[in-house]
Amino acid sequence: MTSLRGLAVEILVRVERDRAFAAPLLAAREVSLAPRDRPLLRTIVRSVLRNRSLLDHVLGRSLSRPLEGLDPDVRAALRAGAAQLLLLDRIPAHAAVSETVEVVRARSERAAGLVNAVLRRLTKEVKPPRVVLPRGTDPIARLALESSHPEWLVRRWIADLGLAATEAALREDDVDAPVDVLLDPRDGDVDSLRERLHEEGLDGTPSPWAPLALTLSSPAAGSHPAIASGRLAVVDVAAQAMCELVEPADVVVDLAAAPGGKTRTLLARGKARRVVALERNPTRSRRLAAGLLAAGRRDDVLVVRADASRPPLPRGAFRSVLLDAPCSGTGTLRKNPEIRWRLSPDDLPALARVQQALLHAALDLCAPGGSVVYVTCSLEPEENEGVVAGVLSSRADAAPERPAEAGLPVPLRAALRPDGFFRVPPGASNDGFSAVVLRKGGGSR
């Protein structure tokens, strides 16, 4: 049986070498552990991914050769051991060192000696680890290293959001996200639903972001039978909030719909009597349909497996379209911390080209006088204002529309810019995202 620390190293290697995502690997591997050990596995992996550059900075002081030159297994073991020694509490130093060394010893006695020597030196470091840089170092470079974010991303956010909002977003990226659920009004009003869930042992707090959102008091509540059975949907408050921007219509198109949280929110909020939900990936499409079936919503949704840039639907036929476009995900770094180490500014133009194709398709589906809500979980202007400007430069049939603030949740009102764009940095209760409403011309409202 692979040890807990062996699993942590295996996952970290897969994330770095294969560009895998940690969350599904954790879900798949932790079932082999006793329930009491699973939180520690998640904590070690997430601590490394969230603090990688800081850990590398500290490890570099104890190595005589570059960390990047070591084998991936050894590099991952050193990071995992350093995270246990310098970032986590309640783990005895001797256990962190000896059990991490044993993981490496199974592969190489020589590498085990190196890991043992380096980790024993780290037992003399202060907690949390100090950043030591030459006097006069650029303060943004220091902030990037201390917060363990790429320097290019920190510079962008400061330019767009300001220093204070950026520092807050950097802090929130390193905190576990709460679990949000979507209440189903078919089961009763919000107060009665909260009372019923309380009686079932599921407590939560109403969210200011969306009327049917409940933020659960315990992350472990995600395994509650009401959620595991599909009766209650886990839907982030940011996803629920973006649905508040959708214009109600008899049929709403949800492009790139999987896993289905927005589709269910549109129905629960009465934004649509029926939803046409497109998803290109076969596995995700099947999961989308299965989730709707479990929720008793299968008859309310037409699931279409198709490329959203070439939707097999009639052009100009839909009053309301929601496009939550695939993106860099820089608003979701607390849930997917590995993104910060694999994304570069050079990736943004290619993403923007895909997003432009999808937005053209969304506008083509939209009827004259109707609207498209364009959303990303990215904070980067190239994927938002840049995409919209690029699309509208070649077509005169749509324009941004500033939504009426009166009907919006308070946090959304605060995020509305003069140009009609919403830019929401990651916060204690929400992922970061951007959004805009585009009105199609040539028809009545």
Backbone angle region of 47, left / alpha / beta, with phi > 0 → left and psi within -120 to 50 → alpha: alpha
Distance separating alpha carbons of residues 444 and 370, to the nearest angstrom: 8
Nearest to 394 by CA among 421, 366, 360: 360
Q: Token pair of 76, please?
A: 């991952």
Is-contact 327 36, C-beta < 8 A? no
Q: Are strands 180-182 and 233-234 parallel, antiparallel or unpaired?
A: antiparallel
Q: What tokens appear for 111 in the block?
A: 């590498």
Radius of gyration of the CA atoms of the chain, in A: 24
β partners of residue 288? none
Residue-level length of the chain: 445
- Residues 43 and 49: their CA atoms lie apart, in Å, by 10
**Of 141, 15, 32, 3, whose CA–CA distance to 75 is shortest?**
15
Tell me the C-alpha distance between 426 and 432, whole Å: 4
- 276 beta partners: 253, 302
Q: Which one is catalytic: 243, 327, 366, 377?
A: 377
Residue 377 designated active-site: yes
CA atoms 225, 256, 425, 19: torsion sign = positive
State the Cα–Cα distance between residues 431 and 261, nearest whole angstrom: 14
Distance separating alpha carbons of residues 27 and 274, to the nearest angstrom:
33
Residues near 209 by Cβ (< 8 Å), separated by ≥ 6? 237, 238, 240, 241, 409, 411, 412, 429, 430
Residue type, 425: P
Question: Which tokens go with 191?
Answer: 């107060």
Let me know if 268 is exposed, middle or buried by CB neighbors in 10 A (0-12, 13-18, 19+): buried
Cβ(257)–Cβ(291) below 8 Å: no
Q: What are phi and psi of 331, to 5 degrees?
A: -90, -5
Closest to 172 measured CA to CA, from 413, 411, 430? 430
Beta bridge partners of 270: none
Distance (Å, whole) CA 50 – CA 236: 20
Query: Residues with catalytic annotation?
Result: 377
